Amino acid sequence: MFSRLDVINYTVTVSGLMISLLGIIQTYMSRYMQRRTRSFFFTFFYTLSAYSAVSILEIVSYAMSGGPWAMIARVALFLESMFSSLLMVMLTAFLLYYSGEQNWRKAFTYRLAFGLWLIYFALLVYTQFSKDIYYYDEMNQYHRGPLYPLLLFPPAIIMLVNTVTLWKRRGKLTKRQQHAFAAYLLIPLAAMLVQMVYYGVYVIILASAVSALIMFLYIQADQENLFERQKQENERLKADILVAQIQPHFLFNALTVIRYLCSTDPKKAEEALDDLSAFLRHNVDSLSETGPVPFETELAHVRHFLKLQKLRFEDDLEVSFDLECTDFNLPSLTLQPLVENAVSYGLKRPDGSPGIITIRTRRFADRVEVSVEDNGPGFDMNVPIGKDGRSHIGIRNVQDRLRLSLGARLTIRSSPGEGTVATIILPQ
């Protein structure tokens, strides 16, 4: 039969389960959370829900006696202990990642925490075949063995590792992030102290769920703030690119060519005016874009630009397209600056042969790559930026916008006499 303590524990544990499920719903509904952060919280709240669920099962089975309930109680307690300890290691990984440790699996701190967890797991397995740590008697009553303190040692060290890691890496975290991780460290610790005084009360489950939700809300607020800052920065960078593109010399050259064509080839002049109009319209329309656009939209913009450049350079410029895929998105005004850079520097061939601009797309399992290649003179990548005679402002701008918009990146590969390849890498 259920005792008064069983009812209290059941109520507290069900409350913890409800809060964990609320955390899953909140994570699902969060609009601006980064992909890895969302994945962490999904995994964290699912583990916390499993922890609460098996705790409920453990309470129910503990109140029963005889039959299969003794085995159910043992399995439930084993799973409860395993899930609760997993949360600590997951926190270690998330703390390292958020403080700038991209390859956190290889970090000493994570390996230490995971090693301690393996020791804890081995002790849990051992206790299923021994009475040294804890056991259930014939009446399905739980008892601690003489080596029970040994079981507490690995989780306590993991908590200490997390606390020290938070303190040492606090300078790499925002205030909200510091508060988020501190909440999950301090609230369960306080609950453990309460549970030591009031033995048998499962307050730590509720404390874990509450602190996890607090951690989520802090991180969510921080990510929303980051999203707004990135959005503002993205708009500024986009405006900078627009200003850089509509330069007087570009308009002057285009209009000069069109003026000449008006008398020599009116039909071609009309087509050139259409290209110039479409090019300028896309630039203006891009200011109202709030997210990535289809690649084909950017490609159309580049085609208008290249048609105008082809009129100017004639046989000195050749363009080819090698498009394996086009069904993906990228930030607006990121492809054309690379093509313009290739035209500006890729046509300066010492032998006077035509400059060839090649635009390629390739799809891989985890990414899409868009490359702009020229067969120009190239440059020495070991020469410090700003001292190689090339303008890098537009390239930096594109790099920043790719990073802010999609977590994408831009790579440049070049060497003297071998041309240049600029590649946009879009994670899928």
- Listing DSSP states for 151-177 in one string gives HHHHHHHHHHHHHHHHHHTGGGS-HHH
Distance of CA 96 to the CA centre of its chain: 14
Q: What is the largest CA-CA distance in the chain?
A: 105
Q: Taking a C-beta distance cutoff of 8 angstroms, is the pair 24, 49 a contact?
A: yes
Q: What are the structure tokens assigned to 49, written together?
A: 């829900």
To 10 degrees, the CA torsion angle through 403, 404, 406, 412? -20
Region(s) of the chain under CATH 1.20.1070.10: 4-229
Closest C-alpha to 58, from 27, 82, 88? 82
342-380 confidence digits (pLDDT tens): 888 777 666 777 888 999 999 998 889 999 998 888 777
pLDDT at 7: 77
Q: If you average pLDDT over every residue of the chain, what do you get?
A: 83
Task: For residue 246, count other CB atoms closer than 10 A to its CB.
Answer: 13
CATH code reported for the domain at 4-229 = 1.20.1070.10
| Percent share of the chain, pLDDT over 90 | 26
- Beta strand 355-363 with 409-414 is unpaired
163-214 confidence digits (pLDDT tens): 999 999 988 888 888 888 999 988 888 887 776 666 666 788 888 889 999 9
SS3 129: coil
Of the ranges 8-17, 119-128, 134-143, 398-407, the best mean pLDDT one = 119-128
Cα 181 to Cα 42, 47, 84, 173, distances in angstroms:
17, 17, 17, 10
pTM of the model: 0.61
CATH superfamily of 246-427: Histidine kinase-like ATPase, C-terminal domain (3.30.565.10)
Residue 261: which residues within 8 A CB-CB, separation 6 or more?
A: 268, 269, 272, 311
Long-range contacts of 38-41 (CB under 8 A, 24+ apart): 40/90, 40/93, 40/94, 40/97, 41/216, 41/219
Residue where the block lists tokens 């739980």: 142
Whether 289 has a pLDDT exceeding 70, the answer reads no
Region(s) of the chain under CATH 3.30.565.10: 246-427
Cα 74 to Cα 11, 145, 341, distances in angstroms:
21, 15, 68
Whether 290 has a pLDDT exceeding 70, the answer reads no
